Each structure stands twice: as structure tokens, then as C-alpha cells.
């Protein structure tokens, strides 16, 4: 039986965006659907003791340069020409992440994620600014008023906490993280292994 | 024209050992020879501000556990069943690394590297102890007395400094690091990209 593929993401991670953009091609090759799951990176870092690459690589310029090069290679390999690094990075993503849980309830998860990712890493506008965030939703044809009114509803906040705690409980320490069944893979550079593990489990 | 593949290593890195063990298969697939180049990790860390995973992951247990899992996957995929984690890790490798430069002069580089790597990560003995190190050389049929007498000769020390500085100058920040022509790849998990880049450059 074909295993589930789950993808824990936070909008604030450019590497998660890059992985997100290659999911349609991966889904087509494997004949399956990848399940996108919001997991707040701030909460993950707090729980695991991990830090963002921006922090850990600040004192190691040649390693930071190499990681940028690996991102450039990934972008070139998959022709992700719409990508632009967001000049406002790092951006607090709490409202965007809560919004993704609300979007699930509104049955608008996929268009919401697409709109917010485009705002973050294609238009590369300051999505930490609520006016900018709301304009991006409106421009994408989403019901902005529902997000204004309900993004901080207790059940929406609780849903994001639960999704984040689920990720932490499974060993997630950063973004993007993938599961093929119970097997975890971290980072955009392990997508080939994700595909191979899917094929292996599907054949088992 | 086929590009050079260079592999900067330090005996102290288990990931460099694991990469070293798959070089024969890679060389056979590509029809080329990989050039092993000693580069002292302590010097690299000092120059770049980088630290060993043992230090950076000490406070992030789930990330450390994941990296161990990725090593286990690599070992299983390539059937590197001789590997044993060295209980004396981390071990100061300065004499082993200087010895590799001396071995080059003695035209014994390949058997020396094989013997020292086996001592470090197969026999997994305390190679930081000079008596143990010398016994490993003797057991491998190497001229131990030459290493006792000449490992700290000024030109041997200078050769290791030069090789390490060359690596640092090219952007190396850890071990193992690979170059295909001028393109750097870091880590045992990027060997597929090393092969693809070799094929790309060879066809260009």
C-alpha cells in the first residue's frame, strides 16, 4: 500500500518554499498527494533548542555562502525563477500560520498557502505587516474579512499549537521536514530520498 | 575534458570516512580517480568560525538523533558494515594528518590512509595514543620507524599547513568537502550531485 507523505512547513523558511514549489512534479511522478502540515518554526525551535540558519551561520561566512550556493543550485535545477529572497526576512509568521489553520476550516487551504507563499517569496513583500498580508489575500481572491475576524479564534490558535506539537513529537527540528510513513527526512536536499523511500514502502 | 575530483578530508570525521569508503565505486562508475587531500579540521574550524557537529548539536538532541539516522541510512545503503563509531571520539588527529603528508613523500599515501582510517573507524582504537597509532601502522606493513622519526619534520608540518590553507582558501569549512573542477560540494550526502556535476562538466 502506498504510504502517506507529510510535509511540515512554516512560511518563514525559504527552503520550505523551494520544496513546496517542486511538490506538484513530485506528486505527479509518484502518483500521490503530499499532505502539507503547518508547524510553527518558532515553537519548534523553542522546544528543540534548534536555531535558524540565519543565527547559526552568522559567524561562519563561508558555510553561509555555501548554503546560498546550494539554494541557487536547487533553484536552477528546478527552474524556480519566480523566487526572490524577501528583504524583510526574518518575518514573524504567527498570523500567517494561524491563517493556514483557519483556511483549512474554510476549505481554502491550498489557495491560501499558494497566495501566502507567493507573497513571501515571489512578490517578496513584508508579510509581517498585517495590511500587506491582507492585501495579498484580497488580491488572490480570498475572503480577507474572515481572516481579519477569525485568525485569532481560540480553536484556530489551538489547531496550530496541536499541529506544531505533533511535529515536535515526531522529531521535527526545522523546516521543511518530510515523513514517508514514519521515516523522517529533513531539508529540501533530501527529496530524492523521499521519493525513493515512497517507492520502497509502496512496493513492500 | 574530464574535470578533477578533489576530496578534502580529516581522519577525525566519521562522515569523511563513510565518504572515503564509497570512493572506489564512484571512481569505477565515472572512470576517474578521486584525489584525496588532507586538510586539518582544527585549522579549518579556527579559520572559518565553524564548529564540529558534536559541539553545534549538543543542545539539539532531536537534530543530533536525525543526523545519526542519516549516517545509519548511508551505512545501510552502501553496506559499510565494517564501520564502528570510535569510543575515544573526538581524537586529536594532528600526528595522523601530518603522517599523511609524510606518506605522500614516501609514496605510501594510499596504504597509509587505508590503515589509519581502518584504525579510526573499523578497529575503532584510540589513535590519539601514539603507541596505538604506531601499532596500527606496523600491523598494516608500513615503515613505522620512518613515521616516528619524520612526522614532525618542518617540511612535513609545512605541507599539512599548505594543504589546509589551500582548502580554506577555496571555501572549505568542514569535512568531507569535494570539488569537481571549481564547484564545491559539502558532506557525504551530496555525492550524487558530485557525480552529476562530473558528468555535466565532462560533457561540456
pLDDT of B1 reads 82
pLDDT in tens, A150-167: 999 999 999 999 999 999
Q: Which residue of B has its CA nearest to A50?
A: B60
Is the confidence at residue A200, as pLDDT, over 90? Answer: yes
B174 chain-A contacts, CB cut-off 8 A: 63
Please tell me the distance from the alpha carbon of residue B174 to that of residue B44, in angstroms, as a whole number. 7
| Mean pLDDT, residues A30-37 | 98
Q: Do A59 and B73 touch (CB under 8 A)?
A: no
A12 φ, ψ (degrees, to nearest 5): -75, -15
**Which residues in chain A (46-75) have CB-CB distances under 8 A to chain B?**
48-50, 56, 59-63, 65-66, 69, 73
Number of domains in chain B: 1
B169 touches chain A (CB under 8 A): no
Answer for the pair A30, A191: CB distance below 8 angstroms, yes or no. Answer: no
B31 touches chain A (CB under 8 A): no
Please tell me the distance from the alpha carbon of residue A169 to that of residue A192, in angstroms, as a whole number. 25
Between A and B, how many residue pairs show a Cβ–Cβ distance under 8 A? 51
B56 chain-A contacts, CB cut-off 8 A: 56
B189 chain-A contacts, CB cut-off 8 A: 189-190
* CATH number of the domain that residue A139 is part of: 3.40.30.10
A63 chain-B contacts, CB cut-off 8 A: 48, 50, 173-174
Candidates A152, A39, A63, A112; CA nearest to B186 is A63
Range of the domain at A82: 5-203
Burial (CB count <10 Å: 0-12, 13-18, 19+), residue B22? middle
Average pLDDT of every residue of chain B: 97
State the complex-level ipTM.
Answer: 0.94
pLDDT of B54 reads 86
Q: Do A63 and B173 touch (CB under 8 A)?
A: yes
A68 φ, ψ (degrees, to nearest 5): -65, -40
For B184, the closest of A66, A173, A192 (CB atoms) is A66
For A184, the closest of B66, B186, B190 (CB atoms) is B66
Please tell me the distance from the alpha carbon of residue A11 to that of residue A93, in angstroms, as a whole number. 7
pLDDT of B27 reads 98
Residue B198's CB is within 10 A of a number of other CB atoms, namely 24
pLDDT in tens, A107-164: 999 999 999 999 999 999 999 999 999 999 999 999 999 999 999 999 999 999 999 9
pLDDT of A164 reads 98
Q: Do B173 and A69 touch (CB under 8 A)?
A: no
Run means of pLDDT, 10 residues per run, chain B, 204 residues = 96 98 98 98 97 90 96 97 96 98 98 98 98 98 98 98 98 98 97 97 94
Please tell me the distance from the alpha carbon of residue B5 to that of residue B2, in angstroms, as a whole number. 9
pLDDT of B134 reads 98
pLDDT of A45 reads 97
Q: Which residue of A has its CA nearest to B63?
A: A173
Confidence of residue A190 (pLDDT cuts 50, 70, 90): very high
Amino acid at each position: 500500500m502506498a504510504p502517506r507523505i507529510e510535509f511540515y512547513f512554516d512560511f518563514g523558511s525559504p527552503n520550505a518554499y523551494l520544496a513546496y514549489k517542486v511538490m506538484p512534479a513530485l506528486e505527479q511522478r509518484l502518483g500521490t498527494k503530499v499532505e502539507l502540515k503547518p508547524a510553527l518554526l518558532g515553537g519548534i525551535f523553542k522546544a528543540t533548542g534548534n536555531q535558524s540558519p540565519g543565527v547559526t551561520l552568522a559567524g561562519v561566512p563561508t558555510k553561509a555562502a555555501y548554503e546560498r550556493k546550494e539554494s541557487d543550485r536547487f533553484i536552477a535545477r528546478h527552474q524556480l525563477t519566480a523566487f526572490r529572497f524577501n528583504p524583510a526576512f526574518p518575518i514573524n509568521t504567527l498570523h500567517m500560520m494561524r491563517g493556514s489553520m483557519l483556511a483549512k476550516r474554510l476549505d481554502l487551504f491550498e489557495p491560501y498557502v499558494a497566495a501566502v507563499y507567493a507573497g513571501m517569496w515571489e512578490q517578496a513583500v513584508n508579510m509581517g505587516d498585517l495590511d500587506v498580508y491582507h492585501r495579498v489575500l484580497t488580491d488572490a481572491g480570498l475572503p480577507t474579512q474572515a481572516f481579519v475576524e477569525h485568525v485569532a479564534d481560540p480553536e484556530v490558535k489551538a489547531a496550530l499549537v496541536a499541529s506544531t506539537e505533533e511535529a515536535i513529537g515526531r522529531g521535527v527540528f526545522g523546516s521543511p521536514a518530510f515523513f514517508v510513513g514514519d521515516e523522517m527526512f529533513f531539508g529540501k536536499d533530501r527529496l530524492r530520498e523521499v521519493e525513493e523511500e515512497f517507492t520502497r514502502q509502496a512496493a513492500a
